Every structure is written in C-alpha cells, then in structure tokens.
Structure 1
Amino acid sequence: MHPEIPDFNQAEPRSQWAARWRDELTLNVLPWWQRQIFDAEGRVLGARGNDGQPREAPRSAVLGTRLLWAFASAQHRLGATAEGGRAAHRAWAWLNQALIDPVDGGVFWSVDGDGRPLQPHKQTYAQAFAIYALCACHAWQAKDDSPALRQALGFFELLQAHAFDPADGGCWEGRMRDWRPLASARLSDKEPPAPKTMNTMLHVLEALTELLRHHRVPAVEARLRELLALFLDRIWLPGQACFGLYFSADWRVLTPDVSWGHDIETAWLLVRAADVLADAALQARTRTLAVQVADAVLARGVAPDGSVLGEGRFDGSVTDERRHWWCQAEAVVGFWDAWQWGGDSRHAQAAWRAWRYIDRHHVDRAGGDWFKTLDPQGRPLDSVPKAGPWECPYHHVRAGLEMIERLAPAS
C-alpha cells in the first residue's frame, strides 16, 4: 500500500476522514452557499465567479432544486443550524414562488431574477431534481404527510402522464410548457440531439429511489424497476465496459462518448435503487456491476494523480482532460461503494486519491467552497463560475454526506 493511503480496514483512519468531510461541509462548503447564493431579498442569484463577484445568468431549475436538496439534506443529516434553516427556507420559497409553473405544473427550465420564465419548457431532468429536492425537504420537515411529499407525488404524476415512453420505455428528454411534445430538448448546446439520454434517465431513477424510500407507492416502484432494468440491460454496454450516453427512442446508442464521472456515479446509484427496492436479485446484479464499473473507470478514466478525467470515447481516447469537481466527488463515493461490495483495496485507494486531489486542488480555502473546473495542471478555470446554472453544491455536499455515513462505525 502507498504510504499516503491509510489502511481503511482500521477504525481510526475512517473516523479521521469522516471528521475531515464534516469540517469541509460545515465550515467551508455550506457556509459559502448559505451566504453567497441569495440576494438581499432572498432571491437566488444566477452565478458567482471564483473572485466572489456576482455574474448575470439565468436562474436555472438545476441550481434552484439542487440548492433546496443540499440545504434541506444538511439540516436533516448533519443537524439543524439557524443559518442552514434560513437557507433551506429561502430555497423552498424560491422553488414555490419562482420555479414551479402555477398554470401547467412542473418546474420551468429557467427564470430571471424576479422569477419570470425565460425558458418555460419542461425538461424531464429538472422535474426529476424537483422530486429529489422535495423528498429531502420532506425528510427535513419531518411530517408523515408534508407539503413537500405531496408536491413530489404530484410531480411524479406529471412524469407518469407526459414523460415516459409507453412503447420502448424510459423517459423523453422534455416537453413544452403545456406538456405537448418538444422536438428538441437537449440539456445544453454541447450535447448531440437525442430523444433519450443516460443522464436524464439516471436522475429520474435517483429521484424515484428517494420517493419510494419515503412513500411506498406501487406505481413509483414499477417505474423504478423499469428504469433499473434499462440501465442493466440496455444502457450498460458490456462490450465497451461503460454506459452509453445518447440513445435513439428504441435504445440504439448514438455516439461513442464516455463520461467516466457519470459511469462511477451511476454505479453506486444503481446499488442504492436496488437496496430501496429490497430485491435480492437486483442487489446482487448491481453490486457486481458496481465493481466492474469501478475497474473500468480506474483503468481508463483516472489520471496518474488520482483525478478523474472529463470525457473520452469507446476506444479509450480522452476528449476532455479538464478536472470537474463533480467527477471527483462522485469518484470518492463510487470507488468506496465498490470497495464495500467487492473488497478490492484498489478501489478504497482510488476513493482516497480522488479525495486527496480534491483537497489539494478543488477546495478554495481562501474564498470558500470549491473551484468547479480545473485545467489538466490543476489550475482553476475562471471561465467556469463557482456558482452558476450548472455549478451547485449538489455533488460535493452529497459526497460528503455519503462518506460521513459510510465511514461511521458499524452499529
């Protein structure tokens, strides 16, 4: 074992790492977001740069829903604080007053600073994150029949009615404001046209996992089983040892692109879904796959310094050498998850090395929070804001919460 890598079979290194994660969340990450993402009236800002200065940008549903998820989850899982409670209430109000469509339901893709719709269409990805955030809000509100849970179930019904493909399964990428079909619903201009994507499917699966955890509804369970089967049988490409990213309506893979960050993230989320379903056969399949995915990402998507690369192709070539914060955060959880199920020390070591890269390069000790995107030499790219339409606290807060809980002594 490398001298810098602790022996995680021992309790002390695990407790020390858990304490470091707790400090990172409570002393650096969460305070920055609680203080920096709202204006004086409590509205969500569009963006802030690495220099701490506000930038003008649309107020995206991605940012708004993930803020609510992060603040509510921290209140529930780390312990309530006054500042955290104010932030969670502000994010809850922003969702209800600005992002939710009062006429046709669902959340808008983006609004302006006053909550007026800029892109009013209904991206399935955004509806999924609304469900995910509302489930966290329900846990924080600690009521059997909370307003947040009722809203989450309402969002699920909208997806049931408008987003799922009854012929070939899975979800369409988006719909118009009134839920009629939308010809092109890409998440960004960087993506190729595709009626279905792994990324959207993954976060619908994640949202339904949490909804089922809090409320056992047969229709939710059926959809979650369907999505999990699609990941195992269609989206996972065993010949390429990766998940496909972009698909036709009938699940033909459209590009040879690989996202190693998404691969390692998907692996542990599939395990989580199988665990919530409490299906022994699916648990066995997803845990086996988690180890296979970790091996594949470790072989092709991890740099010598332990960081996860941006993207590549089926042939192993790298097309994005930048280091993105979310890839590193997901690598910590995903590699650790694989070690928990497979017992291969290489995976625990990979989780630790990803963390060490984060700690040395992404964490902004002077300005707070993390730098979101770095060049191959580990230098922050100021063209990518610290907070923005896609730059949010979701991935690293979730990684911290997961690791604090996974590193805790067995009860």
Structure 2
Amino acid sequence: MQTAFDPLAPEQLRQWAERWRDELLSNVLPWWQRQIFDAEGRVLGGRSNDGRVLEAPRSAVLGTRLLWTFASAEQRLALPPRPQLDWAWAWVSQGLTDPEHGGVFWHVDAQGQPLAAHKQVYAQAFAIYALCAAHAARPDPERRALQQALEFFELLQAHAFDQADGGCWEGFTRDWLPLPGARLSDKEPPAPKTMNTMLHVLEALTELLRHHRVPAVEARLRELLVLFIERIWLPGPRCFGLFFSHDWRVLTPQVSWGHDIETAWLLVRAADVLGDATLLARSRDLAVQVADAVLARGVAPDGSVHGEGRFDGRITDDQRHWWCQAEAVVGFWDAWQISGDPRHANAAWRAWRYIDRHHVDRVGGDWFKTLDVQGRVVAAVPKAGLWECPYHHVRSGLEMIERLAPR
C-alpha cells in the first residue's frame, strides 16, 4: 500500500479495507481460535509472546471479550459458525456467571471456581456487551443470550447506579453489597466512580438498546451520555477525567489519550442508537474536539498514541499499547467522517501504519500488545492475559472494514 494517503481516493480505501480484512481473517482470529482454549474448550489463563501457556486466573475481562470477538466477527464478516463461539458462550454463561447471586465473577480458576468473587461493574458491562453480540450472531427462539444480558442489566439497575448524583459505582461484594475501594487494578487510585467503568456501561447499554428497546435501558443510556458531555469531559484541560468522587470532583490530573479517542466515537454511536438528534449533534461536536485535543498532545511524531499523561501535557507513560493505537484508528476516522478535516483522516492512517509496522506479529500471529518508545516489544506484557485480548483490534478492524466500504 502507498504511504501517501488520500481519504477521498476510492482505490486506497478499498486496499485499506482489504488489508484489515486479511489481518483479521489470516492473522488475528486464527491465533485466538487456536491458542486461547484448552482441550475441553475452557479459556486458558494466557500466553506469552513466545507462545507459552501462562498459569494465571481466568479474568472476566478476557472471557467476555472473547465471546464478543468471536460473535462479532462471525456476524459482521458473515463467517461460517465455528465452535470457539460456543466455547466462549459456555465459558461466560457457566464458568464466569455466579449461579447463586447473578453477575460474573472477577476472576475464576480453570474449572470456573471463583478466585475473586466480587462483582466489578466493569465486568458486568462487558458481559452484557458480549451477550448482545452472541444474540446478533446466533439468534434463537428463546433469545437466551439476550435474556441473560437483560438479567445482568436488571442487576445493574438494582445496585450499580447512584440515584442521587448519577453514574455508576465501581464494585460490590459477591452478594451485591457495596464494596468501598473496589478498583480495576492496583495501578488505579481508589475512586467511587471512574470514567472507564462508565464508558463500558454506556457501550454495553448502546448494544442492549439496539436489540431490545425498553424505557429503562434508554433512560440509563441517556443519563450516561449527558454525564459524559457535561461532567466527565473537562473543557479546561480538554480531556475526559478518569477518577471522580461521588459528587463529580475530579480526583487526579491524569489523562488517558487512548480512552479519550475511544470515548469520542462511542459517544457518537450511543447517541445514534438512542435516536436523540440533540445529543447526537452534541456528541459529534465533542468527538471532533476530542480528536483535536488528542492529536495536539497525545500523538507522537511517528503517528502512534502515547499511553498516559497529565493535564499539563506531561507524558507519564510513553509505552505504545495496542489498544490505544486500535482505538485511534477508529476515533480519528470517525472525526474525519464528521468534520471532513484531512488532519483527522491522516491521523487514523498514521496510527494504522504504526500498527502495521510494529504491533502486527507476522511470525507468531496476532499483535504484540505493548512496545517501548523505540517500538521494541515489552516482553513482560503477554500476548493473551488478564487484560490482553482481541477486543480492541478486532473491533477496530470490523469498524474500519465497514466504514471504508463505498457509500
């Protein structure tokens, strides 16, 4: 493919879409189909970059995202049914789901026994998201996947939302009692509300509303969309806040440019599915603002997106994470589709060029997940693990294949 990029050149767009399709079908999906299940169809703890199986807890993050990946690829690429979707669905429904109190456990062992039995709201959101994808790929008369997604939503309705100030709490005990201090990892400060959790609840409710329009889902999605526009977006530092008090005081000066550009296009998607013209206009305007802010401060000279920084522009994580680059491709392209500004189209293209040159593993398959500032693989970060999964880059590919198609 040529390095000079013209977003209005149909042949270049066709070639780019074909390259994405080939990457998914020949490199990414085959790796995950072959490498992430044991002989009984259960999810493994992970694999290192050299292919070694890792003995690690089976996270809800990995399990639910596998289901989303196999279901979405089958449905959106019109692929023939494969057993990996069935294995992933069984793993989420039986290995991860709490049969007594509902919801998914945070971590389980190889047999699906809980190792961390608390209910992280983030994980419940991904379960809803994945089950909606399974419903779209394999609809059945009983609508089992969709019904399970609705059951998970009802648990969030009953426990997860702050009725006074809005938004979602972070986590609960196994039996859904408040769990102060719940957080996604030890790297995060304690915070009762986080942008990351609310983003993925919004994402999940977007898909649930797409398949099942009920007033309760619609109301919660609208609430979250308004919160992102009016509370979580910080006009001063031009970024989304990451960690909040219960009454929306921002707790840290941290910026995650990967989350910012991901949020930008997901807000537009949510408003579009919601069908609210006013919120759609506001989301589209904000998406362009976010793209400009990320382009100004979060993109390196080689087109890659930095990990994290601070409100004053200082970079605190200069590693290149696969998910940031994948979300940048979609987020910048979405901004181009809204604004027509060639800077946004070029930013999407340059992020892809960085991915193609550095993240794609043409020997071992799939992508290297984290690189240092020189583009060298960080060996300590596995190819598959608690957080390392196919969701971001498969979704980026599916989105771009569809968006690059002739109109």
Give TM class, smaller chain.
Answer: over 0.9
2:334 to 319, 326, 337: 337
Does structure 2 retain, via aligned residues, the 8 Å contact 1:5–1:349? no
Q: Is the 8 A contact 1:195 1:249 kept in 2?
A: yes
Q: Is the 8 A contact 1:212 1:276 kept in 2?
A: yes
1:8 CA displacement:
1.4
The question of 1:5 aligning with 2:4 is answered yes
Rounded Cα–Cα distance in structure 2 between residues aligned with 1:5 and 1:246: 40
Separation in 2, partners of 1:321, 1:145: 48
Alignment partner, residue 258 of structure 1: 255
The alpha-carbon deviation at position 344 of structure 1 amounts to 0.4
Question: Which residue matches 2:232?
Answer: 235
**Matched AA of 1:229:** V
Question: Partner residue of 1:311?
Answer: 308
Tell me if the contact between 1:72 and 1:137 (Cα under 8 Å) persists in the aligned partners. Answer: yes
Match of 1:378 in 2: 375
Task: Call closer, same or farther: CA 1:197–1:353 in 2, change over 3 Å.
Answer: same
Cα deviation per residue 1:331-387 (whole Å; 9 max; x = unaligned)? Answer: 000000000000100000000000000000000000000000000000111100000
Cα pair distance change 1:150/1:263, threshold 3 Å: same
Q: Distance in 2 between matches of 1:181 and 1:278?
A: 34
Please identify runs of 4+ aligned residues in structure 1 that moved more than 6 A: none
Q: Which amino acid aligns with 1:198?
A: M
* Residues 130-279 of structure 1 aligned to structure 2 (within 5 Å): 130-143=127-140, 145-279=142-276
Q: Give 3-state SS (helix, strand or coil) of 1:54's partner.
A: coil
CA deviations 1:250-292 (Å, max 9, x no partner) are 0000000000000000000000000001111111111111110
Structure 1 residue runs of 5 or longer lacking an equivalent are none
Kindly report which structure 2 residues correspond to 1:38-49, keeping only aligned pairs within 5 A, or say none: 38-49=37-48
2:356 & 2:329 partners in 1: Cα distance?
A: 12
> Residue 137 of structure 2 aligns to a residue in which SS?
helix
**Identity of matched residues, %:** 77
Q: For residues 307 and 25 of structure 1, what CA distance do their matches in structure 2 show? A: 21
Q: Secondary structure at the match of 1:384?
A: coil
Q: Measure the CA separation in 2 of the matches of 1:286 and 1:43.
A: 40
| Aligned match of 2:19 | 20
- The SS at the match of 1:47 is coil
Amino acid at match of 2:390: P
Distance 1:310 1:80 in 2: 34
Q: Counterpart in 2 of 1:283?
A: 280
Aligned length: 406
Are the counterparts in 2 of residues 209 and 276 from structure 1 also a CA contact under 8 Å? yes
The alpha-carbon deviation at position 4 of structure 1 amounts to 2.1
TM-score by length of 2: 0.99
For 1:148 and 1:287, locate their aligned partners in 2 and report how far apart those are by CA, in whole Å. Answer: 31
Deviation for aligned residue 1:5: 2.9
TM-score, length basis structure 1: 0.98
State how far apart, in whole Å, the 1-side matches of 2:237 and 2:302 are. 24
Matched with 1:122 is 119
Deviations 1:28-76 (A, max 9, x none): 0000000000011111000100000111111000000000000000110
SS at structure 2 position matched to 1:232: helix
Aligned match of 2:73: 74
The answer to whether 1:50 aligns with 2:57 is no
In 2, the alpha carbon distance for the partners of 1:25 and 1:79 equals 13
8 Å contact from structure 1 (residues 5, 352) kept in 2? no
Amino acid at match of 1:11: P
Corresponding residue SS for 2:122: helix
